[in-house]
């Protein structure tokens, strides 16, 4: 069985490693990522005073719903963001304080992933010109077909991270539940349900804007022609035959509409055995990358690799005993490399 960790040198893989795999002590990397993704100009040099206000406002928006945005006890910059939310300081004052305090560490650490540095999307020119200079990598990133999906992935990762630290637990230990009807992930805190993020946004970090089955480009934003479905790898109807946990994260993937429910779609069939390898790799991605879904998937599928392989094989065998083998399904077309 192949190992998952994708070492291909694609630009969007490097970007996702920053957002999904970075060890964050504050939410500023998410805020800076969203600010860069939403840049509308094509200039190479970006002055710090240009990005200061949008950067700060991303933080301010999250403070409104989750006041915990840093693992340390206090932050002057967050104090000013809170004051802005209370109308105690103006936009100009917020901008001034952000330039002074907001970028102290995040620009230096943005490209650091697991004690090494990925190819850079900008160079730091604050001392010379009070700016950052966007690299060719950033402009190549903007050219990919799934570019707009990246902002939703950042938001999803941010919400999972801040929810975990606000509960004073490691993001890796956060227990996530799924709501099939509303396509959301949620937690239970003191017997209360707290919605965290869209399941589409969370699942897309692995799939990189591609259908799990045919690899066609998909959008995680609703209302688009190629908007994706959240699909049960093992069909939901198998709950009627005693299979359990099929609404859990480990069994959910993103599919194009054609594969899920098109003319030759999957519907209530079991995917070909080759896709079971892919599901195993996807779940291992969340575990090995220390994603906030890590502990949830471990609890759902097993503590060790052997346990998780056994779990999936057993589920596949049970599913096959209830759905005829001739109903094993593959997409009619394949549009790219395997995940």
201 within some domain = yes
**Cβ atoms of 233 and 279 closer than 8 Å:** yes
288 within some domain = yes
33 within some domain = yes
* Torsion sign, CA atoms 287, 194, 183, 320: positive
CA nearest 339: which of 232, 161, 218? 218
Same domain, 204 and 288: yes
Distance CA 204, CA 230 (A): 10
Same domain, 209 and 121: no
Cα–Cα separations (whole angstroms), residue 273 to 306, 328, 329: 18, 8, 9
Same domain, 177 and 132: no
Q: What are phi and psi of 123, to 5 degrees?
A: -110, 145
For residue 192, the model assigns a pLDDT of: 47
Q: What are phi and psi of 103, to 5 degrees?
A: -105, 15
For residue 302, the model assigns a pLDDT of: 93
Same domain, 134 and 208: no
List helix spans (H) across the chain.
11-21, 28-37, 48-65, 76-85, 91-97, 106-109, 126-129, 136-142, 149-166, 199-207, 257-261, 273-288, 294-301, 305-322
Domain closes at, from 98, 124, 142: 142
Domain that holds residue 207: 170-327
Same domain, 193 and 244: yes
For residue 118, the model assigns a pLDDT of: 83
338 within some domain = no
- pTM of the predicted model, to two decimals? 0.59
Same domain, 134 and 196: no
147 within some domain = no
- pLDDT string in tens for the chain (339-residue length): 333 233 345 788 788 878 876 667 789 999 999 999 999 877 899 999 999 999 999 999 999 988 889 988 889 999 999 999 999 999 999 999 999 999 988 999 999 876 678 889 999 999 999 999 999 999 999 988 778 888 888 888 888 788 777 765 555 444 555 665 655 655 445 444 445 456 777 788 778 889 999 999 998 887 788 888 889 999 888 887 788 888 888 998 999 999 998 888 898 888 999 899 999 999 998 888 777 788 889 999 999 999 999 999 999 988 887 776 556 899 988 877 666
Distance CA 106, CA 31 (A): 10
Same domain, 305 and 240: yes
What is the CA angle 76-79-81, rounded to 5?
Answer: 115
Same domain, 79 and 185: no
Domain closes at, from 126, 142, 158: 142
Q: Which run of H or of E encompasses 319?
A: helix 305-322
337 within some domain = no
Same domain, 292 and 197: yes
For residue 114, the model assigns a pLDDT of: 62
Distance CA 274, CA 2 (A): 11
Same domain, 202 and 321: yes
For residue 277, the model assigns a pLDDT of: 93
For residue 185, the model assigns a pLDDT of: 56
98 within some domain = yes
Considering its fold, how many domains does the chain have in total?
2
159 within some domain = no
């Amino acid at each position: 069985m192949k190992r998952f960790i994708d070492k291909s040198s694609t630009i969007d893989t490097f970007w996702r490693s920053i957002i999904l795999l970075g060890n964050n002590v504050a939410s500023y990397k998410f805020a800076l990522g969203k600010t860069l993704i939403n840049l509308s100009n094509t200039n190479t040099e970006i002055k710090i005073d240009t990005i200061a206000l949008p950067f700060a406002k991303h933080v301010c928006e999250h403070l409104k719903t989750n006041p915990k945005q840093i693992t340390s006890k206090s932050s002057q910059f967050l104090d000013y963001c809170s004051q802005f939310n209370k109308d105690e300081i103006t936009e100009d004052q917020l901008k001034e304080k952000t330039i002074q305090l907001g970028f102290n560490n995040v620009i230096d650490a943005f490209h650091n992933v697991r004690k090494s540095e990925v190819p850079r999307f900008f160079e730091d020119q604050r001392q010379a010109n009070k700016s950052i200079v966007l690299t060719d990598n950033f402009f190549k990133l903007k050219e990919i077909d799934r570019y707009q999906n990246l902002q939703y992935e950042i938001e999803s990762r941010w919400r999972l991270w801040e929810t975990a630290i606000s509960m004073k637990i490691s993001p890796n230990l956060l227990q996530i539940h799924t709501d099939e009807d509303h396509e959301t992930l949620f937690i239970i805190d003191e017997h209360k349900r707290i919605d965290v993020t869209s399941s589409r946004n969370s699942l897309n970090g692995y799939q990189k804007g591609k259908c799990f089955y045919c690899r066609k480009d998909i959008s995680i934003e609703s209302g688009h022609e190629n908007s994706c479905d959240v699909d049960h790898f093992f069909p939901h109807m198998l709950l009627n035959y005693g299979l359990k946990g099929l609404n859990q994260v480990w069994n959910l993937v993103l599919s194009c509409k054609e594969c899920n429910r098109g003319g030759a779609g999957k519907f209530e069939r079991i995917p070909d055995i080759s896709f079971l390898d892919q599901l195993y790799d996807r779940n291992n991605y969340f575990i090995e990358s220390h994603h906030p879904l890590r502990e949830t998937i471990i609890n759902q599928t097993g503590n060790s690799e052997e346990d998780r392989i056994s779990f999936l094989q057993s589920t596949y065998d049970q599913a096959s005993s209830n759905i005829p083998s001739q109903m094993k399904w593959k997409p009619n077309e394949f549009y790219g490399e395997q995940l």
